[in-house]
Amino acid sequence: LMIDKLAEKARKNSAVCVGLDTDYSYLPDYIRNADLSVANKIFAFNEAIINATGDLAACYKVQIAYYEALGLAGMEAYARTLAYLRSQGLLVIADVKRSDIASTAGKYAQGHFSGDFEADFVTLNPYMGYDSISPFESYLANGKGIFVLVRTSNPSASDFEELQVDGEPLYMAIAKKASQWGQAYIGDNGFTSIGAVVGINHTSEIALIKDAMPNAFFLIPGYGAQGGSGDMASPFFQDGICGVVNSSRGIICAHLKEHIDKGFEQAARKAVLEMREDLEKWL
Amino acid sequence: LMIDKLAEKARKNSAVCVGLDTDYSYLPDYIRNADLSVANKIFAFNEAIINATGDLAACYKVQIAYYEALGLAGMEAYARTLAYLRSQGLLVIADVKRSDIASTAGKYAQGHFSGDFEADFVTLNPYMGYDSISPFESYLANGKGIFVLVRTSNPSASDFEELQVDGEPLYMAIAKKASQWGQAYIGDNGFTSIGAVVGINHTSEIALIKDAMPNAFFLIPGYGAQGGSGDMASPFFQDGICGVVNSSRGIICAHLKEHIDKGFEQAARKAVLEMREDLEKWL
């Protein structure tokens, strides 16, 4: 199971998930000015970051929105990035947050678990209920994994996720359902292939969420540019590593802060090393 | 505003929204066997359906999942389909149901309101709250529109959408918020550019949803293959047309039921005419 491999990499390398949310404006000048297609420029950037960080990271999260923003050229860069990661034996989470009725969700499952856009894991939005998740299950049997949005890191997560349902917030109802869905897919490490997205900023809520999802592995966004830091990961990891912490801009934009053009990938490597150290302080 | 144009087309042509959820298996043999790329085959199918129905439909809804399922070739067909619809002066809803934090949602807005994948309307999933909607607002000023998922047509919509929040179901809390968000974008016809998705099967709930969203224009899925029929649209339309009713398989698979190969687009036209008649009975 991919979730077993992910848990092992998180233990061996670090809990760092490198977010390849690659905006064209992040590219160093020498790549932007190169005689390459837009798709090849984006891919060249990602490839260098991947090569410079593969031994340090648990996995990579590719945020498809940044690629959709660039149209067909972006989708080509997206496909090449996922294929390259998988060819290197690295694990990739497609951050797609898809949701739809069952017949349509089945098409998303096909699209993101096979063919040009094949990933190891996808993120899914649960608002539409189990129908929007179940079509992905046939791929779980083959080792793939999913992360259900439970408690997101953005400010307006409060709009609906915190609404009280039977005396507890909505996200707890979702955490409990997702935990039930995951019981059929528990691997050797005790983690289920149906994990959860919980923002690093929800430090006071994580204990209850973990109680409700004892077999969940967590995808934890919000580190770095979004304001999260290593100490905020400690409530997640006090009983051992049970998730990966994503940083995107903090890693792939590290060269911009230091005004580095050539050698940008070493700035990314340094950022991953610093993040690993920051997280390890709290393990 | 696109929402004004849509309301006018719904009144003039019909409330039919043609769903171009084009699966490769729907293509007639003569297109499948043609010496064309996969992208061109899918596009040839869509183009013929569009040409045969453009004068009857209010708009088209393109379900991106069917195109993502086919990888890069699918995305090429998707881009060509949207460009063709817009070049013909037809209105297109990109059924993408995206959701993400604000910076990422901004990328989705860029991707689906400009460039290769430019649509007139998009569907959005509200679970993450206002942050996931607000980045689309700068495009509303330029006339674009969005449809927020309020009450979906799938069986497990009950999992979370029906949970009781302050004595009413969650979807009502979302309906009220979406209505507030939409107040700044009301056009000449009294409809706001922030509409709502409400499944046709929720006939007993629509009155309350309409009360909560007095300026909303509705995207109404669930007709035909999903079990909906014209009588179920009457609670929506008793005070006039305030939405479009989507049918996908019922229209684009009409030729399969009649075992028609060449001339499939006329089967689609016939299905749209029948659907228009069925809806008009209840107006």
Q: For the segment B180-227, what is each residue's pLDDT rounded down to a tens digit?
A: 999 999 999 999 999 999 999 999 999 999 999 999 999 999 998 888
Reported as a pLDDT band with limits 50, 70 and 90, residue A60 is very high
Reported as a pLDDT band with limits 50, 70 and 90, residue A267 is very high
Nearest CA in chain A to B78: A72
Residues 72-91, chain A, touching B (beta carbon < 8 A): 72, 74-76, 79
Residue of B95, B116, B153, B154 for testing the chain A interface, max A β-carbons within 10 Å: B154
What is the per-residue pLDDT for A238? 86
Q: What number is the average pLDDT over the span B148-156?
A: 94
d(CA A31, CA B214): 51
Reported as a pLDDT band with limits 50, 70 and 90, residue A185 is very high
d(CA B221, CA A127): 16
SS3 content of chain A, % helix, strand, coil (to 5): 50, 20, 30
pLDDT of A279 > 90? The answer is yes
What is the per-residue pLDDT for A149? 98
Q: How near does any CA of chain A get to the CA of B48, in Å?
A: 23
Q: Do B152 and A116 touch (CB under 8 A)?
A: no
B227: left (phi over 0), alpha (psi -120 to 50) or beta: left
What is the per-residue pLDDT for A87? 98
pLDDT of A53 > 90? The answer is yes
What is the per-residue pLDDT for A50? 98
* Residues A197-232: tens digit of each pLDDT: 999 999 999 999 999 999 999 999 999 888 889 999
What is the per-residue pLDDT for A85? 98
Residues 4-33, chain B, touching A (beta carbon < 8 A): 21, 23
Extract the tokens encoding A209: 């969420």
Taking the CA atoms of A187, A191, A192 and A195 in sequence, report the sign of the dihedral they define: negative
Q: What percent of chain A has pLDDT over 90?
A: 93
The identity of residue B131, as a single letter, is D
Residue of A61, A97, A144, A210 with catalytic role: A97
Alpha-carbon separation of residue A73 from A1, A82, B42 (angstroms): 32, 15, 20
Cβ–Cβ under 8 Å, residues B49 and B10:
no
pLDDT of B283 > 90? The answer is no
What is the per-residue pLDDT for B221? 96
Reported as a pLDDT band with limits 50, 70 and 90, residue B107 is very high
pLDDT of A282 > 90? The answer is no
Reported as a pLDDT band with limits 50, 70 and 90, residue B232 is very high
Cβ–Cβ under 8 Å, residues B215 and B185:
no
Reported as a pLDDT band with limits 50, 70 and 90, residue B282 is confident
Residues 141-180, chain A, touching B (beta carbon < 8 A): 149, 152-161, 163-166, 170, 173-174, 177
d(CA B273, CA B270): 5
Q: How near does any CA of chain A get to the CA of B186, in Å?
A: 23
Cβ–Cβ under 8 Å, residues B272 and B18:
yes
Residue of B149, B156, B246 for testing the chain A interface, max A β-carbons within 10 Å: B156
CA dihedral A104, A109, A110, A112 (to 10 degrees): 120
What is the per-residue pLDDT for B37? 98
d(CA A246, CA A242): 13
* Residues A64-96: tens digit of each pLDDT: 999 999 999 999 999 999 999 999 999 999 999
Instruction: Establish whether A176 is a catalytic residue.
Output: no
Residue B105, CB-side half-sphere exposure with 13 Å CA sphere: 27
**What average pLDDT does chain A have?**
96
Residues 241-280, chain A, touching B (beta carbon < 8 A): none
The identity of residue A80, as a single letter, is R
Residue appearing with tokens 């967590």? A218
* Residues B31-90: tens digit of each pLDDT: 999 999 999 999 999 999 999 999 999 999 999 999 999 999 999 999 999 999 999 999
* Residues A117-136: tens digit of each pLDDT: 999 999 999 999 999 999 99
